[in-house]
Amino acid sequence: MRGARPARILMEAFLVSISSISIAEIGDRTQLLSLVLAARYRRPLPIIAGILCATLANHAAAGIVGNVFGNLLKPRLLQIIVGVSMIGMAAWTLKPDTLREEAAPRSAASAFAATFTSFFLAEIGDKTQIATLALAAAYSNLVAVVSGTTIGMLVANVPVVILGKAFADRLPLKPIHWAASALFAILGAIFLARALWP
């Protein structure tokens, strides 16, 4: 939220970014892509490094766009747009993602290059990228938002890369999707409440 005390808002931006993205990423197509890459290359460290770099690049771009919009809009209108966006994210989260096999790289490129390229492209227009854009519009501290969303992606994807299918198969995806949807709906309601009852 723009205009509030810096330390409190920095921590809020960071924690909201981590929690919303890590929960939303569970069962997302990029998490499924992590599973495919881990099975194909069996080299966790380059895959994790590729996920980190691709997420940083993708979310930094989304964050910059969101930050520009956040600076252009009046605070009340911005809160309403972010609130409605979060409620839209709540609905989107309930739709399970699938991954077509051709989305995974088939070249003999290194695990890092293959992961970076496929992850960056898979994140374009993905719900976590859109959420990053909305969060960066709401919170003026771009570093807190992008670092939070990037850590959130790693929290969700690193266990899948390291533990693979055994980990992914044990996740109760339906309750997790409902929890992620509820979190986005609550965040949307908070932003709308801030706009309507300042």
**pLDDT tens-digit profile of 92-148?**
767 765 545 444 444 435 789 989 998 998 888 888 898 999 999 989 899 999 999
What CA–CA distance (Å, rounded) separates 96 from 124? 17
End-to-end CA separation in angstroms for the chain: 12
- Residue 187: inside a domain: no
Instruction: Give the model confidence (pLDDT) of 17-62 as tens digits.
Output: 999 899 888 877 888 888 888 887 878 899 999 999 999 999 999 9
What CA–CA distance (Å, rounded) separates 98 from 95? 10
Instruction: Give the model confidence (pLDDT) of 170-194 as tens digits.
Output: 656 677 667 777 877 887 888 788 7
Tally of domains in the chain: 1
- Residue 104: inside a domain: yes
CB 132 within 8 A of CB 66: yes
CB 89 within 8 A of CB 25: no
- Residue 16: inside a domain: yes
Note the pTM of the prediction, 2 decimals.
0.75
pLDDT at residue 152 in the model: 95
- Residue 88: inside a domain: no
Length of the chain: 198
- Residue 182: inside a domain: no
- Residue 34: inside a domain: yes
Q: How far is CA 67 from CA 13, 19, 61, 114, 150, in A?
A: 13, 20, 10, 30, 16
- Residue 46: inside a domain: yes
Instruction: Give the model confidence (pLDDT) of 8-29 as tens digits.
Output: 888 999 999 999 899 888 877 8
- Residue 180: inside a domain: no
CB 71 within 8 A of CB 135: no
Range of the domain at 44: 6-79+96-172
